[in-house]
């Protein structure tokens, strides 16, 4: 299936959860805000939210400093 992550096309061989997707990018789930099809996904739902074909995901990854 095909999804779009941060504006780029990605092919997934199997359906992943949001948590698994973030893991694939090597990002700590504690440092992200995630939008799925323009809706914010609460952190506690990362593990239970499955991605579907043609989903659009935005992963906003925070870095330190301020």
Partner 1 sequence: MEITVNEKKMVIDNFTTLFELRNQIKPDADVVIINGYQTDTDIKLQEGDKISLIRKGEIPDKSEIKYLMMARHTPGVHDKLQKGFVAIAGLGGLGSNVAVSLARMGIGTIKLIDFDIVEPSNLNRQQYFIHQIGKSKTEALKDTLLNINPYNTYLTENIYITAENAKKTLKGYDVIIEAFDKAKNKAMLINECLKHFPGKCIIGASGVAGVFDTESLKIHKIGKNTYIVGDMVNEARPGCGLMATRVAVAANMQAHLAVRYLLGEI
Interaction of residue 37 with partner 1, rule CB under 8 A? no
Report the C-alpha gap between 48 and 9 in whole angstroms.
23
- Give the strands of the sheet with 32-36, arranged side by side: 8-11, 2-5, 56-61, 32-36, 39-41
CB of 13 to partner 1, least distance (A): 28
Pick one of 24, 33, 47, 54: the residue that binds partner 1 (CB under 8 A): 33
Pick one of 2, 24, 25, 31: the residue that binds partner 1 (CB under 8 A): 31
Interaction of residue 48 with partner 1, rule CB under 8 A? no
């Amino acid at each position: 299936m095909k999804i779009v992550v941060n504006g780029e096309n990605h092919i997934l061989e199997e359906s992943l959860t949001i948590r698994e997707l973030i893991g694939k990018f090597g990002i700590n789930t504690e440092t992200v805000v995630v939008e799925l099809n323009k809706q914010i996904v609460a952190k506690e739902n990362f593990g239970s939210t499955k991605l579907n074909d043609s989903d659009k995901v935005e992963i906003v990854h925070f870095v330190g400093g301020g």
